[in-house]
Amino acid sequence: MIATFPAVSQFWQYSSEEYLKLPLYTRDYPACKAC
């Protein structure tokens, strides 16, 4: 192990309310803007 992050939420450091307003991660989201 080279690094440990304690107590990581499934929403990371984002607001859960704002997080859930965004789409589920899929093949097309987030879009690959630099591809």
Partner 1 sequence: MGHARLRIVAAATLLAFVVVLGGPPSAPAQSGSIKIGLLAPLTGAFAAIGKDMLNGTELYLDEIGRQAGGRKIELIVEDTEGNTATALTKARKLVDQDKIHVLTGGLLASTGYALHPFADAQRIPTTYPVMASDDLTQRKPAKWVVRTGWSTSQPMHPFAEWTIKNTKYRKVVTIAMDYAFGWETVGGFQRTFEEGGGQIVQTIWTPLNTNDFAPFLAQVKRDADAVLALFVGRLALQFMKQYEETGLKGKLPLLGGGTTNDEAVLPQMGDEAIGAVTALHYSAAIDTPQNRWIVEAGSSRTP
Site string for partner 1, 16-35 (x = CB under 8 A): ---xx---xxxx-xx-xxxx
Q: Considering the rule CB under 8 A, would residue 7 count as an interface residue with partner 1?
A: no
Q: Considering the rule CB under 8 A, would residue 3 count as an interface residue with partner 1?
A: yes
Q: Which residues of 1-28 are buried (b: 16+ CB within 10 A; e: fewer)?
A: eeeeeeeeeeeeeeeeeeeeeeeeeeee
C-alpha radius of gyration, the chain, whole number: 13
> Would you tell me which residues interact with partner 1 (CB under 8 A)?
1-3, 5, 8-10, 12-13, 19-20, 24-27, 29-30, 32-35
